[in-house]
Amino acid sequence: MHILKTHTISFINAFKGIWTALITQANIRIHFVIGSVVLFLSVYLQISSEHVIDLVLAISMVMLAEMVNTSLEFMSDAVTQEHNENIKMAKDVAAGAVLFTAIFAAIIGIFIFIPKLI
């Protein structure tokens, strides 16, 4: 029974983390809305299930990158509010990871949606 309680608490904390990211980070909310619109359009345009899986994976990767970036920002801000070049570089790299995944998610979306729109 102890293991079940521990896992339940872990899941609750994980959902709190998702909620914290959504309510504190505008960029995550933007990506969430865009991802929702993309999934709605995929149903509306009758995109194949294989391509919907590709879209879900791309959206998930962007959300994952955003959440890792957010956790790194929270952690580094907890360490110090003073300028630290190493923390700045870590934040820049994490932001770059978000940009990288967002660009490639957009490219995947373009390849999937353009044939349906022309």
d(CA 32, CA 8): 25
Among candidate residues 50, 66, 73, 85, the one labeled active-site is: 66
Distance CA 79, CA 62 (A): 26
Radius of gyration for the alpha carbons in the chain, expressed in angstroms and rounded: 18
- Cα distance between residue 7 and residue 40, in whole Å: 33
66 counts as catalytic: yes
Closest-CA residue to 27 (of 79, 78, 101, 87): 101
Q: Quickly tell me which residue has 């294989």 as its tokens.
A: 50
| Total length of the chain | 118
Catalytic positions, written as ranges: 66
